[in-house]
Amino acid sequence: MGEVAQELGENPSAVRYWSNYFEQFVKPQRNAKGNRLYHPEDIETLRQIQYLLKNQGLTLEGARQRLKEDHRTVERRVQVLDMLRQIREDLIQVRKSL
């Protein structure tokens, strides 16, 4: 849970809440201790939820509806944003090395 929250830059409580609220989209497994174990698909879905809530300004219910209706478009937009962030980081590193 903590690693996923850190990767997303969110509080663990927010990730836990999203996992519970969007249980039809995010289905983490649980280990013997009861800890949530997220698969890469779950993490990608959490990124999409984060995008809809933080970047698009949707409510929880609005984000749920958007994921139901237009999951592929949301997925593509999140991937493009991730690629742009990576390009920006690479350019910053190039500038520092000059």
Mean pLDDT, range 42-64, rounded to an integer: 95
Q: Which of 46, 41, 51 is nearest to 17 (CA)?
A: 46
Mean pLDDT throughout 50-68?
Answer: 95
Both structure tokens of 64 = 């749920």
User: Based on the number of CB atoms within 10 Å of its own CB, is 3 exposed (0-12), middle (13-18) or buried (19 or more)?
Assistant: exposed
- Across the chain, mean pLDDT equals 93
Distance of CA 53 to the CA centre of its chain: 10
State residue 70's pLDDT score.
85
Q: What number is the average pLDDT over the span 15-21?
A: 95
Alpha-carbon torsion angle 65, 43, 11, 85, nearest 10: -90
pTM of the model: 0.82
Q: What is the pLDDT of residue 25?
A: 94
